[in-house]
Amino acid sequence: MNAARPQPQRLQPPAGSDVLPYVYQVTKYDPADRDQHGHYAGVEPATSDHGPVETAYLQAIAAFAEETDVDQLAIREPQIGGFAHFGLEPPVDGYGLADLFPAGLTGFHDGALVPMAAGLELVRAMLRDNGTWCRLEAEGAFTVHVGWDQYLYIGSSRPCEAALARTRSLGLFPERLHA
């Protein structure tokens, strides 16, 4: 199949916000498997494998954070699922946060600082669709969040060429998004 490749997305930042100069969409979906509208048309499932692909996502984030000299992240815009669950995976008790916040969900709040290891576990919970979501950031330097269908968005103040190469070597597909 020789589908036309879409042009990079143009992001429009919310009023008053700073967008980092390097923003990447990182995905397990091969861009060659997109249809003429830019939608993925391959056979890769939209859920976490709880294994090597999930680990690759986490290693990619760690590589970007390391290259940006980030070792802790602030939780931004935290969200916890409600009574309705719309995810593709079954809900998990405690939203996958019990081991990260032993004192309870009160530790999961906007502005809470977490070490990189805890940030990676938060991303794991989001990849597994455990019912929690947030954006993680080191202001002015680094940001990461999980979008729909296992799309990961990483922003950096630096181009992170080594992290891009590492991400590709892990079998993932990083694509630069332009603001």
Say if residue 10's pLDDT is above 70.
no
Give mean pLDDT, residues 135-161: 95
Report how far apart, in Å, the C-alpha atoms of 9 and of each of 19, 38, 154, 178, 179 are. Answer: 14, 10, 14, 6, 8
Structure-model confidence comparison of residues 11 and 157, the more confident one: 157
Domain boundaries, the chain: 22-177
Structure-model confidence comparison of residues 38 and 58, the more confident one: 58
Give pLDDT, residue 9: 41
Instruction: State how far the Cα of 109 lies from the Cα of 105, in Å rounded to an integer.
Output: 8
DSSP-based three-state secondary structure for 96? helix
Give pLDDT, residue 116: 97
Please, are residues 179 and 23 in contact by the beta-carbon 8 Å criterion?
Answer: yes
Say if residue 2's pLDDT is above 60.
no
Report how far apart, in Å, the C-alpha atoms of 56 and of each of 9, 49, 51, 169 are. Answer: 24, 11, 9, 9
Give pLDDT, residue 8: 40
pLDDT band for 129, please (50, 70, 90 cuts). confident
Say if residue 60's pLDDT is above 90.
yes
pLDDT band for 87, please (50, 70, 90 cuts). low
Q: Cα dihedral angle (13, 19, 25, 31), rounded to 10 degrees?
A: 70
pLDDT band for 44, please (50, 70, 90 cuts). confident
Instruction: State how far the Cα of 84 lies from the Cα of 87, in Å rounded to an integer.
Output: 9
Give pLDDT, residue 82: 57
Q: Which residue has the tokens 């729909």?
A: 148
Q: Report phi then psi at 36, rounded to 5.
A: -65, -15
